[in-house]
Amino acid sequence: MRARLTTAAWLALASFCLPPAAHGVEEGPQRRVDSGLIRGSVDHGVAAFKGVPYAAPPTGLLRWRLPAPLPSWDDVRPARAFGPACPQPKVPPPVGVEGATSEDCLTLNIWQPLAADSKLPVMVWIHGGGFVLGAGSQALYAGAELARRGVVVVTFNYRLGALGFLSHPALSREQAGSPLGNYGLLDQIAALQWVRRNIASFGGDPANVTIFGESAGGIAVQALMASPLAAGLFHKAISQSGGGTAAFLQVDGDHRSAEEFGNAWAALATAGCGPEVGLLLQKSFTLAFSATEDGFAAPGNPVVSAETLRGLPLEKVMACPFSSFPTIDGHALRRSPGDSFGRGEQARVPFLVGANSFEASLAVTSDALARATLGSRYDGLLGAYAARAGLPQAAQDVLRGELFFVQPARFLARRQAALGAPTFLYYFDHVAASRRADTPGAPHGGEIQYLFRTPDAFKVAWDAADQHVFDTMAGYWVRFASTGDPNGEGAPRWDAVSGSSEAFLRLGTAPKMVRPDPLDDRMFAAAIEAATATWRGRR
């Protein structure tokens, strides 16, 4: 996908300066990509290439525009250090990032087995962080251990917050006929296009690409499966703790709620922000999960111009918090992902999906939000969970996890299997050794350390059971990326979802297949009924 740029925008690109090649440094693996030569390093026994740009810096006149083509370079470009993360709020690791941030952040990182054969499976990770935090460079996503299992691993940055997902009337007029508002999602598509063009240079097979991500990254996987612009760019998909029932705001049609929200935010940002932004964010998030009244426009609220927006200092943009989600723009997305799955419009690819046993650790999915989503059904369901024997968590926590993550994952699995695509559903239930005494279940994001083998990033200690879970989980994921089937190598059997069975794999120290019970079915029906009302109410 190429951006249509004005002459002024191309002049802005001309001022883009690439860092020179390191003088006197010749060691390290070298690869050719379509913009020039890069030289990487050896990282934990694999070849690593870090901070490789995949699109032009989205700065100046390219702020709030589609990702633009990348100028080429003549010298060998060093690819030994991660690029800066995209601008985001200051939050400590592991959720937040360490090091520099910059609008010049559209880079990716590749880990390749040293003795690589050609045409290895490719696994492209999409980081989480609520579409406002995170980077492909975070320590918890280090790709060396997965690459050592015989795959090429790619992580990348994409624009976040308002810089990545602002929909606005002035920007819509300026970019009419193009995708709107989904700049961060379009960055993801640009990164996948880069992978298709270049991954063979790293031993990867461009015809065997798996996208996988957690939380916002899991939502992004669903959005890419639903996006016509991403068709053909990947061949398998894994969505971890990405829910599946959220309703995105709209840029297209008669209900332009995303633009109303964007202009209300822009008015606050240009004025220096203020306490009103808290109510705006709360309403935006509530609208994503419950069928409440739509709309953000205030009478007489002037439309901020595109020139004013692009002239905002980065400090002003970042000083005003922004509620980030992709938007329905009629180009990149025609519906919310769950709605597309419900209609059978998503990519027909092998699919692996699931959630964790303590998703309620993500506090933003609050009890108040659960009540707003379920309405009159809330009290009865809460009572049923309270009566369920053997719960290690409060009933409210179990309800929130089931409502926002576990049963939506089951819905996506059911709808993907209905297309005839191999589909596998999991429920992750394991806690690291040093946290078992104070954590009632696997928290939101708790499975990531067992995929990348990065306990240090979470500041936890492992025992032999944790190592076993890593070996089991990473094996399942790599086999799925290789063949579309996670089974093999003596691992416990993982049955696919089918029309006659929605059994799921309870993934922990002793994986086993489990069937949903009547309370699961009851919550499933309530969650999908609420989501369907919200989706249909937006169209």
Active site residues: 215, 359, 444
Place of tokens 């169209």: 539
Instruction: Yes or no: say if 134 and 95 are a contact pair by the CB < 8 Å rule.
Output: yes
Burial of 26 per CB tally in 10 Å (0-12, 13-18, 19+): exposed
Q: What's the farthest any 2 CA atoms get from each other in the chain?
A: 70
How long is the chain?
539
3-state SS assignment for residue 35 = coil
Residue type, 307: E
Measuring CA to CA, how many Å separate 83 from each of 24, 156, 289, 294? 22, 10, 35, 39
491 alpha carbon, distance to own chain's centre: 28
In whole angstroms, give the CA distance from residue 422 to residue 424.
Answer: 7
DSSP conformation letters of 263-311: HHHHHHHHTT--THHHHHHHHHHHHTTS------PPTT-PPPPHHHHHH
**How many CA atoms lie less than 13 Å away from 257 in the CB half-sphere?**
23
DSSP conformation letters of 212-235: EEETHHHHHHHHHHH-GGGTTS-S
Structure tokens at 51: 């901070």
Rg (alpha carbons) of the chain, rounded to whole number? 22
Structure tokens at 183: 């700049």
DSSP H or E segment with residue 195: helix 183-198
DSSP H or E segment with residue 536: helix 518-538
Measuring CA to CA, how many Å separate 116 from each of 46, 104, 203, 489? 9, 31, 6, 21
Burial of 313 per CB tally in 10 Å (0-12, 13-18, 19+): exposed
Buried b (16+ CB within 10 A) or exposed e, 253-288: eebbbbbbbbbbbbbbbbeeeeeebeebbebbbebb
